């Protein structure tokens, strides 16, 4: 089973402002004048299950239309006891460990998992369960906010796979995590 993260950051490494706002991220308001999706549709087509944390789930619910159609989504949370009534049927709530979830998904025959959300990505990294990460850097400095990477238990070596520059200044790099055991 392959486990990947796919996320955008400001050039200074933040995934959101301190209050969770994405106003610095072009297209975060649901509009995309360029029509470019930076490979996201192709990536999503390869994914069987999306795993996100509660904060990311709460943010996605504010988008209006559910952006993942009928793709299976797992929300990891130890605080939520149930999902809101307006949640699509394709979403399930889990409160297990990362390792337990990975065993369950692998036993279910899942081939590709997409992990989204800063804390969730950090938790998968610390559990040594993340295989690849694609980071799209947006050419803006926001000076503070929620960092993609927080404190790590150990250094995590990466192997650069490729980098794609886009016409609007976005730069997307894909890395393989080397020390996944």
Mark out the alpha helices in the chain (DSSP H runs): 40-45, 54-61, 98-107, 118-126
User: What is the pLDDT, as a whole number, of residue 179?
Assistant: 73
What residues in the chain have per-residue pLDDT under 70?
27-35, 180-181
Cβ atoms of 4 and 132 within 8 Å: the answer is: yes
pTM of the model: 0.90
User: What is the pLDDT, as a whole number, of residue 161?
Assistant: 97
Q: Which two tokens stand for residue 14?
A: 């933040």
User: What is the pLDDT, as a whole number, of residue 109?
Assistant: 97
User: Starting at the edge strand that comes first in sequence, how are the strands of the sheet with 112-116 ordered?
Assistant: 91-94, 72-76, 49-53, 112-116, 2-10, 132-138, 171-177, 158-165
Domains and CATH numbers, the chain: 2-177 (3.40.430.10)
What is the distance between the alpha carbons of residues 143 and 67, in angstroms, rounded to a whole number? 28
User: What is the pLDDT, as a whole number, of residue 64?
Assistant: 80
User: What is the pLDDT, as a whole number, of residue 29?
Assistant: 43
Classify residue 107 by its DSSP letter.
H
User: What is the pLDDT, as a whole number, of residue 35?
Assistant: 66
User: What is the pLDDT, as a whole number, of residue 31?
Assistant: 45
């Amino acid at each position: 089973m392959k486990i990947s993260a796919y996320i955008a950051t400001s050039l200074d490494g933040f995934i959101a402002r301190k209050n969770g706002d994405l106003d610095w991220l072009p297209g975060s308001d649901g509009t995309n004048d360029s029509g470019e999706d930076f490979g996201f549709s192709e990536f999503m087509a390869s994914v069987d299950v999306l795993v996100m944390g509660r904060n990311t789930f709460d943010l996605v619910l504010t988008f209006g239309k559910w952006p993942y159609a009928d793709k299976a989504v797992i929300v990891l949370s130890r605080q939520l006891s149930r999902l809101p009534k307006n949640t699509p049927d394709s979403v399930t709530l889990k409160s297990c460990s990362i390792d337990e979830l990975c065993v369950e998904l692998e036993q279910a025959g899942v081939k590709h998992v997409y992990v989204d959300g800063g804390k969730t990505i950090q938790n998968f990294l610390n559990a040594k369960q993340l295989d690849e990460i694609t980071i799209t850097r947006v050419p803006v400095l926001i000076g503070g906010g929620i960092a993609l990477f927080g404190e790590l238990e150990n250094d995590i070596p990466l192997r650069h796979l490729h980098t794609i520059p886009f016409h609007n200044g976005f730069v997307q790099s894909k890395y393989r995590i080397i020390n996944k055991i």
